[in-house]
Structure 1
Amino acid sequence: METGYQFSMKRNRWIYAAFTLLIIGLGLGSRAFSSVLPDAVNPYLGDSLWAAMIFTGCGFLFQKLKTMMTGIISLIFCFIIEISQLYHAEWIDRIRDTSLGGLVLGYGFLWSDIGAYTVGITACAAIELLVLEIKKRRNM
């Protein structure tokens, strides 16, 4: 009997593209509406959504990759980006000074971002595993 993390599937690229775009919208919205978000959530929501977008983007690119591996690759990518924020050369800081560069590369290393990325990707992996379990039970 297979356990949830061993399920293999072929992801629907249209669904993952749609979720990626939805998460981008939510992430941008979290910045626009930060004044109405609770103080306990506000500093972390954008980073969690950014990591969730990386997970869905990875799911889009790698249709057959198992959920746990998708999560691991997404976490490694997010951690590398965060660690890269410790590096401040003129050329990369000029990229970070642009809107898109700042959104993608960030500005400064924060341990709390590592936690937020972990929460965002864990939530996406849990949702995907739940959907796979539901599909499995329907096909029994």
Structure 2
Amino acid sequence: MLILNLQSRMIYCGAVLLATLLGLATRAYGNQLPHFVSEHFGDAIWAGMIYLASRVLLIRHPLWMSLVLSLCFSFGIEFSQLYQAEWILHVRATTLGSLILGHGFLWIDLVRYTAGILFCWTLDQILQN
């Protein structure tokens, strides 16, 4: 069981790395991608990466727990963008802060996050069976 958990964690870590690279690529090469892809996929991939990272941490727990946790985390980050204190604006002005916390609240981001998380959760369900 320990070996299986370690192997699963490694697979999820690889998936997190892949999602990170794909998400960054949508930003770096956005002008070369179809508009729909460059407009929506970065946020969806970011949220999918959050789901995959939660699986690394919650490997022994059911998939639905990672689904709920990643939705709550992603929505929490988005709603935190309504908070505009000077200190957090300075954090958001950094590259890492911008990638993690974003800049401005957008309702469409909640749809993007949900789509990315549901995609990863569905794929996870399929691959687990």
The alignment's TM-score, normalised by the length of structure 1, stands at 0.86
- 1:35 aligned residue: 31
- 2:58 aligned residue: 62
User: Aligned AA for 1:70?
Assistant: S
Number of residue pairs matched by the alignment: 125
Instruction: Give the 5 Å matches for 1:53-132.
Output: 53-132=49-128
Distance 1:40 1:47 in 2: 12
- 2:13 aligned residue: 17
| Structure 2: 5+ residue stretches without partners | none
User: Aligned AA for 1:124?
Assistant: C
User: What secondary structure does 1:40 align onto?
Assistant: helix
Distance 1:62 1:28 in 2: 25
Q: Deviations over 1:14-68 (max 9, x none)?
A: 1111110111000111111101211122211110010011001000011112111
Deviation at 1:75, TM superposition (A): 0.3
Q: Deviations over 1:109-138 (max 9, x none)?
A: 0011000000000000100100112xxxxx
CA RMSD of aligned residues (A): 1.3
User: What secondary structure does 1:27 align onto?
Assistant: helix
The counterpart of 2:45, out of the listed 42, 49, 52, is 49
User: Aligned AA for 2:37?
Assistant: V
Give the greater-gyration-radius structure (CA).
1
Distance 1:121 1:38 in 2: 22
The alignment's TM-score, normalised by the length of structure 2, stands at 0.93
Q: Percent identity?
A: 42
Deviation at 1:74, TM superposition (A): 0.3
- 1:136 aligned residue: none
More helix by share: 2
User: Aligned AA for 2:59?
Assistant: Q
